[in-house]
């Protein structure tokens, strides 16, 4: 029988952190969450507060005294606290850089002091403008100019990775870095630019779905429950320290097709749908006549994020490394995830 492990989850009141806390408690582990609630929400963990093995501390990870005390009581730290979301990154680059770099440094120091295993969340953003698809962990990266604040998030997470691996090589800290590719599921909100929550909210309300640019950029979306299995698998495996792993789905979909899929998940075909045309500038780029677009409007990137915003056309992970290491691969389809999300957004 597996012995319980004492975990500390930074950012544990957030979308992914709250699901991770649930899963760890279900398998008998002891979980402490630290979150300053700047982006996390109490409602995500409200149902866990009475659990005898769950402990919540409202504080910033930059509070060294609090972090030190919590790290001294656990064996494994999962570092999820970060500034996330394109909108937040573009509007608050100083906060993004300071939170990500200084916060990770504080966690690594605390983990080293008490000989914890530390799992550090990174992002597919570190692949930047790379065009070699799918993205492999050892691929070169190409970021945009430093004058484009959009790339500050990717750069800060790259520093997090460099720092984490340096702690492993120089000090022997047990570190694992995992790069997340568009995780989706219940409790995720669109406040900071997350695409699917915004789409689902708009579709459930019967509002037109807002697609940026021409919608032909593509992404891979992985259900949070699959992601949690991967994180726990890496946490429990002793042969993966000092390594970087992609976590994500390999099923690619354009944002335009995603918008259509979300709309039809929220509005069955029996419902009469209005139709709206995209702007003339974008109409010629669409894969089918504009008159066939159902309840979708198109907004240029400059209008959404400011002049000069840059984005990647494709982002697909190579997950062969994590599959070989712990036998993980996604099991939940995007259609299943969307149906679950639509139900969670409907009024009770």
Q: What is the pLDDT of residues 223-246, one digit of tens each?
A: 999 999 999 999 999 999 999 999
| 300 pLDDT more than 80 | yes
With beta carbons less than 8 A apart as the criterion, state whether 225 and 185 touch. Answer: yes
* Long-range residue pairs from 137-144, CB within 8 A, at least 24 positions apart, any chain: 137/179, 137/243, 137/244, 137/245, 137/246, 137/318, 137/321, 144/310
The per-residue pLDDT for range 66-123, each reduced to its tens digit, is 999 999 999 999 999 987 666 666 677 787 888 889 999 999 999 999 999 999 999 9
In this prediction, residue 88 carries a pLDDT of 66
| pLDDT higher than threshold 60 for residue 292 | no
Per the prediction, the chain carries an average pLDDT of 88
Q: Is the pTM for the entire model greater than 0.85?
A: yes
Give the Cα separation of 293 and 279 in Å (integer). Answer: 12
Q: For residue 2, what pLDDT is reported? A: 72
Question: Does 108 or 188 have the greater pLDDT score?
Answer: 108
User: Is the per-residue pLDDT at 290 higher than 60?
Assistant: no
Write down the pLDDT at residue 273. 41
Of 14-23, 29-38, 89-98, 161-170, the range with the lowest mean pLDDT is 89-98
Taken in order of first residue, the domains within the chain and their CATH numbers are: 6-184+223-248+316-331 (3.40.50.720)
- Above 90 in pLDDT, residue 20? yes
Residues taking part in catalysis:
153
Rounded to an integer, the average pLDDT of 5-19 is 97
């Amino acid at each position: 029988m597996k012995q319980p492990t004492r975990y500390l989850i930074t950012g544990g009141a957030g979308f992914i952190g709250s699901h991770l806390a649930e899963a760890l408690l279900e398998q008998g582990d002891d979980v402490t969450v630290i979150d300053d609630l700047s982006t996390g929400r109490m409602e995500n963990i409200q149902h866990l507060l009475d659990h005898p093995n769950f402990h919540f501390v409202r504080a910033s990870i930059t509070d060294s005294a609090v972090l030190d005390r919590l790290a001294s009581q656990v064996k494994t730290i999962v570092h999820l606290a970060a500034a996330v979301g394109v909108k937040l990154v573009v509007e608050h680059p100083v906060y993004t850089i300071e939170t990500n770099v200084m916060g990770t440094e504080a966690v690594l120091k605390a983990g080293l002091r008490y000989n914890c295993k530390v799992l550090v969340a990174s992002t597919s953003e570190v692949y930047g403008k790379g065009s070699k698809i799918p993205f492999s962990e050892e691929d070169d990266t190409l970021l945009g100019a430093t004058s484009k604040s959009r790339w500050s998030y990717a750069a800060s997470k790259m520093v997090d990775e460099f720092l984490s691996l340096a702690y492993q090589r120089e000090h022997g800290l047990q570190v694992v870095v995992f790069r997340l590719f568009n995780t989706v599921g219940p409790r995720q909100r669109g406040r900071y630019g997350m695409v699917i929550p915004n789409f689902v909210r708009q579709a459930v309300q019967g509002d037109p779905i807002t697609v940026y640019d021409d919608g032909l950029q593509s992404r891979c979306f992985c259900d949070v429950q699959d992601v949690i299995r991967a994180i726990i698998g890496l946490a429990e495996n002793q042969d993966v320290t000092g390594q970087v792993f992609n976590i994500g789905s390999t099923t690619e979909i354009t944002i335009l097709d995603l918008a259509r899929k979300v709309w039809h998940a929220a509005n069955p075909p029996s419902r009469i749908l209005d139709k709206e045309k995209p702007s003339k500038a974008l109409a010629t780029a669409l894969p089918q006549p504009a008159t066939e677009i159902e309840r979708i409007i198109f907004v240029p990137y400059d209008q959404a994020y400011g002049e000069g915003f840059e984005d990647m056309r494709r982002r697909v992970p190579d997950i062969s490394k994590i599959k070989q290491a712990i036998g993980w691969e996604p099991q939940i389809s995007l259609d299943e995830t969307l149906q679950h999300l639509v139900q969670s957004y409907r009024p009770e």
